[in-house]
Protein backbone atom coordinates (compact mmCIF):
# COMPACT_ATOMS: atom_id res chain seq x y z
CA UNK A 1 0.00 0.00 0.00
CA UNK A 2 1.35 3.46 -0.87
CA UNK A 3 1.62 6.21 1.75
CA UNK A 4 -1.81 7.66 2.52
CA UNK A 5 -3.75 4.46 1.85
CA UNK A 6 -5.69 2.51 4.44
CA UNK A 7 -8.24 -0.27 4.59
CA UNK A 8 -10.85 -1.70 6.91
CA UNK A 9 -14.49 -2.67 7.30
CA UNK A 10 -17.13 0.05 7.04
CA UNK A 11 -19.88 -2.43 7.96
CA UNK A 12 -19.99 -5.95 9.40
CA UNK A 13 -22.76 -8.31 8.41
CA UNK A 14 -24.99 -9.65 11.17
CA UNK A 15 -23.76 -7.33 13.93
CA UNK A 16 -26.19 -4.92 15.62
CA UNK A 17 -25.03 -1.32 15.72
CA UNK A 18 -25.75 1.01 18.64
CA UNK A 19 -29.02 2.04 16.96
CA UNK A 20 -30.16 -1.63 16.82
CA UNK A 21 -29.77 -1.93 13.01
CA UNK A 22 -28.22 -5.03 11.49
CA UNK A 23 -26.90 -5.14 7.92
CA UNK A 24 -27.70 -8.43 6.19
CA UNK A 25 -25.17 -10.14 3.94
CA UNK A 26 -25.41 -8.83 0.38
CA UNK A 27 -27.32 -5.64 1.31
CA UNK A 28 -24.93 -3.38 -0.65
CA UNK A 29 -24.91 -5.33 -3.93
CA UNK A 30 -27.44 -3.32 -5.94
CA UNK A 31 -26.05 0.00 -4.76
CA UNK A 32 -22.42 -0.83 -5.55
CA UNK A 33 -23.42 -2.01 -9.00
CA UNK A 34 -25.60 1.01 -9.81
CA UNK A 35 -23.00 3.49 -8.53
CA UNK A 36 -20.14 1.87 -10.43
CA UNK A 37 -18.30 0.55 -7.38
CA UNK A 38 -15.82 2.58 -5.36
CA UNK A 39 -15.75 5.46 -7.86
CA UNK A 40 -19.39 6.29 -7.08
CA UNK A 41 -19.00 6.41 -3.29
CA UNK A 42 -17.56 9.45 -1.48
CA UNK A 43 -14.85 9.40 1.22
CA UNK A 44 -15.76 12.03 3.83
CA UNK A 45 -14.80 13.17 7.33
CA UNK A 46 -17.60 12.71 9.92
CA UNK A 47 -20.31 12.47 7.17
CA UNK A 48 -19.71 16.11 6.21
CA UNK A 49 -20.12 16.62 2.44
CA UNK A 50 -18.03 19.80 2.73
CA UNK A 51 -15.05 17.71 3.93
CA UNK A 52 -14.00 15.19 1.28
CA UNK A 53 -10.75 13.42 2.17
CA UNK A 54 -9.70 11.54 -0.94
CA UNK A 55 -11.11 8.60 -2.86
CA UNK A 56 -12.14 5.02 -2.27
CA UNK A 57 -10.03 2.73 -4.42
CA UNK A 58 -11.87 -0.49 -3.57
CA UNK A 59 -15.24 -1.23 -2.00
CA UNK A 60 -16.65 -4.73 -1.98
CA UNK A 61 -18.73 -7.14 0.04
CA UNK A 62 -17.12 -10.28 1.38
CA UNK A 63 -18.15 -12.86 3.95
CA UNK A 64 -17.48 -10.43 6.82
CA UNK A 65 -19.04 -7.20 5.58
CA UNK A 66 -18.26 -4.13 3.51
CA UNK A 67 -14.51 -3.99 2.93
CA UNK A 68 -13.08 -0.60 1.91
CA UNK A 69 -9.67 0.64 0.78
CA UNK A 70 -9.10 4.36 0.51
CA UNK A 71 -6.46 6.88 -0.45
CA UNK A 72 -6.30 10.12 1.51
CA UNK A 73 -5.38 13.22 -0.48
CA UNK A 74 -2.18 14.28 1.24
CA UNK A 75 -2.03 17.50 -0.79
CA UNK A 76 -4.75 19.00 1.39
CA UNK A 77 -4.35 19.91 5.05
CA UNK A 78 -7.24 17.77 6.36
CA UNK A 79 -5.84 14.71 4.57
CA UNK A 80 -2.40 15.19 6.13
CA UNK A 81 -3.91 15.77 9.59
CA UNK A 82 -6.08 12.67 9.45
CA UNK A 83 -3.28 10.55 8.07
CA UNK A 84 -1.11 11.50 11.07
CA UNK A 85 -3.99 10.80 13.48
CA UNK A 86 -4.66 7.44 11.82
CA UNK A 87 -0.97 6.49 12.05
CA UNK A 88 -1.14 7.25 15.76
CA UNK A 89 -4.36 5.27 16.20
CA UNK A 90 -6.32 8.32 17.38
CA UNK A 91 -8.80 8.03 14.48
CA UNK A 92 -9.81 4.55 13.36
CA UNK A 93 -13.62 4.53 13.00
CA UNK A 94 -15.59 4.03 9.77
CA UNK A 95 -19.26 4.76 9.20
CA UNK A 96 -21.64 4.38 6.27
CA UNK A 97 -23.95 7.04 4.89
CA UNK A 98 -26.93 5.39 3.24
CA UNK A 99 -30.65 5.27 2.59
CA UNK A 100 -32.57 2.14 3.58
CA UNK A 101 -34.23 0.55 0.54
CA UNK A 102 -35.54 -2.62 2.16
CA UNK A 103 -35.69 -3.75 5.78
CA UNK A 104 -37.78 -5.79 8.17
CA UNK A 105 -38.18 -5.86 11.93
CA UNK A 106 -37.06 -8.67 14.18
CA UNK A 107 -39.54 -7.94 16.99
CA UNK A 108 -38.22 -10.70 19.24
CA UNK A 109 -34.70 -9.21 19.32
CA UNK A 110 -35.86 -5.61 18.80
CA UNK A 111 -33.68 -5.18 15.73
CA UNK A 112 -34.15 -3.74 12.26
CA UNK A 113 -32.61 -5.97 9.60
CA UNK A 114 -31.38 -3.98 6.58
CA UNK A 115 -31.53 -6.18 3.49
CA UNK A 116 -31.08 -3.56 0.75
CA UNK A 117 -29.06 -0.37 1.23
CA UNK A 118 -28.39 2.57 -1.08
CA UNK A 119 -24.84 3.49 -0.07
CA UNK A 120 -23.62 6.97 -1.03
CA UNK A 121 -20.66 7.61 1.27
CA UNK A 122 -18.31 6.06 3.79
CA UNK A 123 -16.73 8.35 6.38
CA UNK A 124 -13.78 8.29 8.67
CA UNK A 125 -15.23 9.05 12.10
CA UNK A 126 -14.16 9.36 15.70
CA UNK A 127 -17.03 7.24 17.07
CA UNK A 128 -18.61 4.68 14.71
CA UNK A 129 -22.21 3.61 15.33
CA UNK A 130 -21.04 0.05 14.67
CA UNK A 131 -18.12 -0.38 17.09
CA UNK A 132 -16.42 -3.00 14.89
CA UNK A 133 -16.42 -0.74 11.78
CA UNK A 134 -12.74 0.09 11.91
CA UNK A 135 -9.64 0.90 9.95
CA UNK A 136 -7.41 -2.18 9.96
CA UNK A 137 -4.22 -0.95 8.28
CA UNK A 138 -2.63 2.40 7.58
CA UNK A 139 0.13 2.29 4.98
CA UNK A 140 3.20 4.42 5.27
CA UNK A 141 2.96 4.34 9.03
CA UNK A 142 6.39 3.92 10.65
CA UNK A 143 5.37 0.51 11.86
CA UNK A 144 2.75 -0.19 9.13
CA UNK A 145 0.41 -0.31 12.10
CA UNK A 146 -2.36 -2.89 12.00
CA UNK A 147 -5.47 -2.27 14.06
CA UNK A 148 -7.78 -4.92 15.51
For residue 39, report the phi and psi dihedrals to the nearest 5 degrees: -60, -25
In sequence order, the β-bridge partners of residue 18 are none
Domains of the chain as residue ranges with CATH? 5-138 (3.20.16.10)
Rounded to the nearest 5 degrees, what angle is found at the Cα of 76, between the Cα atoms of 56 and 50?
Answer: 70
Task: Give residue-wise pLDDT tens across range 91-131.
Answer: 999 999 999 999 999 999 999 999 999 999 999 999 999 99
pTM, whole model, 2 decimals?
0.92
Supply the pLDDT for residue 143: 53
Task: Give residue-wise pLDDT tens across range 27-39.
Answer: 999 999 999 999 9
Amino acid sequence: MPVGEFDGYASRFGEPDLGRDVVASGAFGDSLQSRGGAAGIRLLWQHDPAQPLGVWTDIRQDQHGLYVRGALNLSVERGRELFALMQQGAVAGLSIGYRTRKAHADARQRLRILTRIDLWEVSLVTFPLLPSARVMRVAGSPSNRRYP
